[in-house]
Amino acid sequence: MSNIKMAVRFFSIPDGEIVGGMLKKPQIRLVQAWITLHADELMADCDLAVDGKSIYKIEPLR
């Protein structure tokens, strides 16, 4: 068995509001910044996924 702890948080797109889950505040701010930078790409990928199509890769926050 593994002692790995996972933190998961759910955010709405494109506003970055927290929907649920657990994540520390510094990470929340990073994710919200990434959502802000990539909101258009995230929405486009969401539409593709809903239509059953392949999504595009989005650059990670660096």
What is the extent of the structural domain holding 41?
Answer: 1-62
pLDDT band at 4 (very low <50, low <70, confident <90, very high): low
Return the pLDDT at 2.
Answer: 59
What is the pLDDT at residue 6? 62
Number of domains in the chain: 1
**What is the identity of the amino acid at 35?**
I
Q: Which pTM does this prediction carry?
A: 0.74
The per-residue pLDDT for 13 is 81
Cis peptide before 14 (omega within 30 of 0): yes
Q: Read off the pLDDT of residues 5-61 as tens digits, 9 standing for 90 and up.
A: 666 778 888 788 888 888 888 888 998 999 999 999 999 999 999 999 999 999 987
Three-state secondary structure call for residue 37 = helix
